[in-house]
Amino acid sequence: MSIAADIPVPRGDGEPSDVPSPTIAARVWRCGRFELSLETPLVMGILNVTPDSFSDGGKHDDPAAAVAWGERLIAEGATILDIGGESTRPGASALPPSGELARVRPVVRRFATDGAVPVSIDTRNAEVALACVEAGASIINDVSGFRSREMVAVAAGCDAGVVIMHMLGEPGTMQASPHYDDVVSEVGGYLLAQAVVLQAAGVARERIAIDPGMGFGKSLEHNLALLRALPQLAELGYPVLLGASRKRFLGDLTGVMEPAERLGGSVAAAVWAAAHGAAVLRVHDVGATVQALAITAALG
Ligand code: HH2
């Protein structure tokens, strides 16, 4: 029996069904004009054009600094650049779309025009996603998991890749006593349900990636359970993206409270995730992650 069998497969009307879940591993991820091979892990470098991100806020929030940082991430081996203009750290308050767009659009345009790697826009706002796709972004990374109809419509109206991430609630309150009866089944079921919604709206299956959302409404135990269940999530048949980089749960495990100093924990989590089915690793420290993955790849 497939180990994904515990995750209920939605019929599309929100009710679970007994239809067997797909277990064909995706080989490519179609993102606009890019067809990304999933034979080796993709490294998504994080470029936060924000004053307040939890680990690098204020470091690249002017366009020149953002471009310099993005160029460095590409030079270090990033295969995707994920550009964000709104912090979604626990307790963060929402930013008006106009403010978010003003931060990210010039940087998206610059790297999309350059064309060296696909540009991903990390946003919960349909207006920002649309404007950034028009500016050349090839991936929409929505930490709210395409909950909004407008976001689904933007995805359906373009050919960008999409990342459906699971978040319990909203960033402002998500870490206030998160509760699940069965975190793996609930998160996996949600991701599948949203993939069905997107496919029903016209988004091709090969464009969709899923992400359990480390730290987004999860306790330490929830994060660990989801990491351990990566093979099960990968069996759902969509590439799995994992973003553990510098996150609080790594600090809880190691005692390192300063996010920027969580390099060792971040690299270990990325390597472990790649070995257990993650296809895309979203990281701040691209060079160190690429090095570590090269060693594990050489060792088979
Ligand atoms: N984590 C963050 C932001 N976007 N997207 C996906 N798909 N998966 C994640 O785990 C994820 C994400 C939070 O990290 P960061 O961008 O560094 O922080 P902030 O939200 O404070 O800008």
Characterize the bridge pairing of strands 34-37 and 28-31: antiparallel
CA-CA distance, 236 to 30, in Å (whole number)? Answer: 17
Give the pLDDT score at 104: 97
Cα angle: 101, vertex 105, 106; to 5 degrees: 135
Contact 274, 293 (CB under 8 A): yes
- SS3 breakdown of the chain: % helix, strand, coil, rounded to 5? 40, 15, 40
Contact 50, 89 (CB under 8 A): no
Q: Each residue of 76-130: pLDDT tens digit?
A: 999 999 999 999 888 777 789 999 999 999 999 999 998 899 999 999 999 999 9
Q: Each residue of 17-63: pLDDT tens digit?
A: 433 344 456 799 999 999 999 999 999 999 999 988 888 888 888 88
| The two structure tokens encoding residue 106 | 């010039």
Which residues have C-beta atoms less than 6 Å from ligand 1?
A: 46, 48, 50, 53-55, 84, 87-89, 122, 141, 143, 163, 165, 211, 213-214, 241, 243, 282
DSSP one-letter code for 69: H
CA-CA distance, 129 to 48, in Å (whole number)? Answer: 15
- Select from 29, 31, 50, 88 the residue to mutate for testing ligand 1; criterion: most ligand atoms less than 8 Å from CB: 88
| pTM of the shown model | 0.92
By annotation, the residues acting in catalysis are 247, 282
Contact 99, 111 (CB under 8 A): no
DSSP one-letter code for 41: -
